[in-house]
Structure 1
Amino acid sequence: MLGTWRRRAAAVPLAMLALGAGGLAVPAAAQAAEEAPVTLKPYRTTTYVQNRAGALFDVPGGLTAGMRDPAGTARLTRSYMIYSLSGLRDRKVLGATLRLRQNSAADCVPRPVELGMTQDTVGYSWNTQPTWIRSFGTQSSGAGGGAACPAGDLSFDVTGAVQDVLGKTYGSDYTLPLGIRVPAESETDPKSGKLFGPAPELVLTLDPASAPVPQIPGVPKALRVSSGPYAGFQFCFNKNGSSAGPVTTTAASSTTLGATPDSTGSVSSATFRIRNVAGVEVYSQHGRLQNGQFLSWVSPGQLPAGRYSLQVGSSAGWTPSCELVVTQ
């Protein structure tokens, strides 16, 4: 019979090495054309241990998986960690890799370990462990098993999971819970145990086009377009100022252009302008301040089908261009 399961939890500080203080992204003006990868560390780690001897199994400085055998008493272990992606909620992630440092193994024989996405570990006991939502496969390694096989890194591609978390597929708290275990068919092998570093790194490659754009004081913000009275608004930019992609309307629509005064409240007037692909201005209208926002209207048929560049500005300057696509 298996004995009592116990849990060892350790708080690990969150590190956002390529982000600014407080987890805020660095303004685009301070970034290179090609951004360096962002590296995150878990803000919480937890190791669950099957304890036959009645004493809590603890290996300082590491996470474990599989059978560990300190003092001749084998204990089955699994580990979990949680990453916060909240500082990247307006960024586009092109790639994400979980880098797991394997420091110790029974010997140099490559044996598997599995990485998966789980439910949050808060409130769980070992008898009700987090459910695995998806698996990222296994990596087999004997790293750390002896002088001939020193410690080394295992890498797992977790791009899809990171993109899903940022897209709110799993809720809106922007956390990525991950688990490490030895596959079931090998888990009770006395030599399956592995010791990993205490804070596996999540390395992210970001799309430079999604970098935040600093707001210019006095320039209207939240440029948006509605293709009809009941269509709702499409925003040109994300909350951090990065492009949200093209906005669309139809040539036959009465299109509404909208923007919001800047946060200083110093903007009392605004102008909307639209240019065609040749850079020729085809629309320029003053925005009427109504219910706290600037509004302007494009009459049906005023813009033929095609691609355009939309901006709003004031005496302080203009917003970046927003791509406007007009269909038939």
Structure 2
Amino acid sequence: MRVGVPKEIKTHEYRVGLVPGSVRELAHHGHEVIVETGAGRGIGVDDGAYSQAGARIVATAAEVFAAAEMIVKVKEPQPAEIALLRPGQVLFTYLHLAADRALTDGLMQRGIAGIAYETVTDARGGLPLLAPMSEVAGRMAVQVGAHYLEKEQGGIGILLGGVPGVPAAKVVVLGGGVAGSNATRIAVGMEAQVTVIDRSLARLKELDDLFGPRLQTVFSTMENIEGEVATADLVVSTVLIPGAAAPKLIRRELVRRMRPGSVIVDVAIDQGGSAETSRPTSHAAPVYVEEGVIHYCVTNMPGAVARTSAIALNNATLPFVLALADKGWRQALSDDPHLRGGLNLLDGQITYPAVAAAFGLPHQKPAF
């Protein structure tokens, strides 16, 4: 199979779909890999490393899209890239369609097979291709939240861990999944007062066993969310419904009750965000103030630590990329129900129920 790797063009996105080690594996399996020049520059990898791994370097994204049967990316295609896709081509990347009707319509019109990293599953019901970036985003969320709590950044001027005689900041984490547990780990390590809210008692028990008295766990109800968020210095929202739009758990009235200069980091922004006041931002302009509260809503948070993120992502995606290339995408999807769960679009139809439900559209179950 001919596999294409274009350079990412989303604002301040430095990750790359395939690192040289992954290219070498594909070449070893007999596949041709076409890489756009400069695709690895953001992670400190030059064209020579890709050539040595067996890739063919081309000058433009148009050449990559024209030559490849499967495109492997990191972020959803931008308008200029959508125009380069063609019917029957496979697109394997993060899509997050439920938060973006224009993107969904554009990809449906191209007639591609759109396989989304974020809805591929595993035998335990997890999301193995979302997990690495959720780990990164969760850990980053507390780091950036602590930064924007500083007075010179517009924050309230509070040190996350406090000092003797001065209370630590209160951090509230919504969601105890992969991103939430990683955010908790960093916040606890920085000696903040940390509360995790989740609707799974089993998950709360696991976190309680892991962190002990350093962590407060709270069952998720609207009353509990309102009570904890209103008094928080930093809120990290990680709530996820696979493939669907994020639920709006933080109402505008609740944001209005928060202390001016406090911070919300909405990790769920890729799926539309879980605060009514959240709207997508980029690394070029990561924050804005709404109702007196600083909002950090960058849709590609892990892109800021591109080298770590790209390698971690490739560790997870490579087995699936190899399966799609070795078997052909139809056979690979037929053989693996977990990979088949990643199929969101096919031949102009939505195939993932949660995406269809987000827009009130029908979905078509794939015939394999």
Question: Structure 2 length normalisation: TM-score?
Answer: 0.22
Structure with more of its chain in helix, by fraction: 2
The two structures have a TM-score, normalised by structure 1, of: 0.24
**Which of these two proteins has the greater Rg computed from alpha carbons?**
1
